[in-house]
Structure 1
């Protein structure tokens, strides 16, 4: 007498694992895209005399499988624009725009929702 068990489906053939990997990748990319778009929207709204150069330097770099960094590529006057440079108030009257801090706060608040949407898009592939 013997018992034969046959396991089939996404959980056992690797499709669920691949779908989860895809969901994490999409979540990372979606949150980073949201952050990049938001910081650019703020620079467009706040900058009084934009040249376009600073905005052209804002980009997203994939740091690892689950981390993306949105940054200004180290533009030398970036800290001054943000308001954390040595030449901001009280040295001068310019306090900065705080566009990066505002974006960070919004991403912290909305990031989980954005990531959840990415995971939900992949649920059918996971067998759920």
Structure 2
């Protein structure tokens, strides 16, 4: 007597694994996009005399398959705008806008929800 067992579906043919990888990529990109837009929104709302140059330098760079970095491309006065430059307290009374620190806190709070939404979009491909 022989029993034939056939496994079919996304878990067994590789579709689920590809969908999980796609969900991770989307989650990374969605969180980074949210972070970039949030930081730029804070800048638009707070900067008193914006020239547009600093905002134009804010970009997202993929550091690895799991990590994306939102940054100002090393603009020399970026630390001063943030309030962490060497010239903030001792030389000028300008405290900074704290746009990066505030964005970091919001992303830490909202990031899991954003990532979960990306995963949910791929659930049908995973067979869920």
Q: TM-score range by the shorter chain?
A: over 0.9
4+ residue segments displaced more than 4 Å: none
Give 2:119's aligned residue: 119
Give 1:71's aligned residue: 71
1:8 aligns with 2:3: no
The Cα of 1:90 is off from its aligned counterpart by 3.9
Give 1:43's aligned residue: 43
SS in 1 for 2:63: strand
Structure 2: segments with no counterpart, 5+ residues: none
Give 1:20's aligned residue: 20
Give 1:108's aligned residue: 108
**Number of residues paired by the alignment?**
128
TM-score by length of 1: 0.98
In 1, the alpha carbon distance for the partners of 2:66 and 2:7 equals 30
SS in 2 for 1:95: coil
SS in 1 for 2:91: coil
TM-score by length of 2: 0.98
Give 2:96's aligned residue: 96
Give 1:62's aligned residue: 62
Q: Deviations over 1:89-125 (max 9, x none)?
A: 2431101000000000000000000000000000011
In 2, the alpha carbon distance for the partners of 1:90 and 1:6 equals 73
In 2, the alpha carbon distance for the partners of 1:87 and 1:79 equals 9
The Cα of 1:71 is off from its aligned counterpart by 0.2
